[in-house]
Structure 1
Amino acid sequence: MVIKNVIPPVLAAALAALVFSGSAMSDEHEVEKQADQALVILTNGSLQTQGMAMILSNAMQQQGTRVHILLCDASGDLAVEGYESAEAINTPPSNPAGRVKPEAILSMLQEKGANVDVCAIYLPNSEYDKEDLLDGVGVATPEAIAQMMTDPAIPVYSF
């Protein structure tokens, strides 16, 4: 009689632990699936905002996220061949790079596989043409960006 009273709670606890750990793994797998891609929309002309967006994009990329970067308004200039920011920014103390320019980080992200596009309205509202863009930089279509923005598996970050 004593054994019957002890075993069921032990088995129940073991089963609960097994079920809990299984659901935790499913949640972790779902998070990994969602973290597979990210859309970073950068519109701000501020040097520090551009730099931080690039630094965070780099951190996501280093963690295995496929990064898509959409550059609009003043940030579109980062994708123009020969563009140079007025000055470099200091990176966080944890980053040994020291002082860098946002366009240098953007180039590094692109070299490591990030997709970079300018907004569909950037070129028609600037002095630049598609030929002025860095190699590999595209012009986003509203349909493609809207598809990414509405995909619940792709987080969107806007700066």
Structure 2
Amino acid sequence: MKRIFAITLVAMLFIPNLLSANQTKGLNVILTTADGQSQMMAMVLSMMTLKQKKEVNMTLCSSAGDLAVKGKKSMLFKPMNKSPKMMLQAIIKNGGKVQVCPLYLPNSGQDASVLLDGITVAKPMDVAKGLLDTQFQNLSY
């Protein structure tokens, strides 16, 4: 029941944004959750945004930062039989900009060498500027 409510809530919040999608440049995604289904939904919506020829700027923080690390696994989800990490790599391949928050690496005892190709460390001023850009929709999980 909680999942149905959450999905309905996300749909209600996102559908008006989709209706005005032609007026926007793209989507800013802040992903912090360790929950695989929520991570996957963020990836699916990001990929659908790219398919509409819009920009995607994704910042991974907290537990979601693990998706950016080489060698860390993420679970497969049906019906696509893909993982959030696989989708993340496809987003990068399709032109999405993906960063980890600047707190992730030093607080997980790692450095930038562990990041997947195409992922960089975010600059807070740039992320804030992007979130305040009214030509982008903001989505947070």
- Shorter-normalised TM range: 0.7 to 0.9
Partner residue, 2:22: 32
* Residue pair 2:26, 2:49 contacting (<8 A) in 1 also: no
What percent of counterpart residues are identical? Answer: 36
Give TM-score, length-normalised by structure 1. 0.73
Distance 1:73 1:45 in 2: 8
Distance 1:31 1:105 in 2: 22
Q: Secondary structure at the match of 1:128?
A: coil
Residues 1:74 and 2:63 aligned together: yes
* Residue pair 2:102, 2:123 contacting (<8 A) in 1 also: yes
Instruction: Please report how far the alpha carbon of residue 32 of structure 1 lies from its aligned counterpart in structure 2 after TM superposition.
Output: 2.1
Q: CA RMSD in A?
A: 1.3
Distance 1:127 1:111 in 2: 27
Distance 2:139 2:39 in 1: 13
Aligned length: 122
Residues 1:155 and 2:111 aligned together: no
Partner residue, 2:48: 59
Matches within 5 A, 1:1-159: 32-34=22-24, 36-85=25-74, 87-91=75-79, 98-159=80-141
Q: Secondary structure at the match of 2:102?
A: coil
Give TM-score, length-normalised by structure 2. 0.82
Unaligned runs of 5+ residues in structure 1 are 1-29, 92-97
Higher radius of gyration, 1 or 2? 1
**Structure 1: 4+ residue segments shifted above 3 A:** none
Instruction: Please report how far the alpha carbon of residue 37 of structure 1 lies from its aligned counterpart in structure 2 after TM superposition.
Output: 2.0
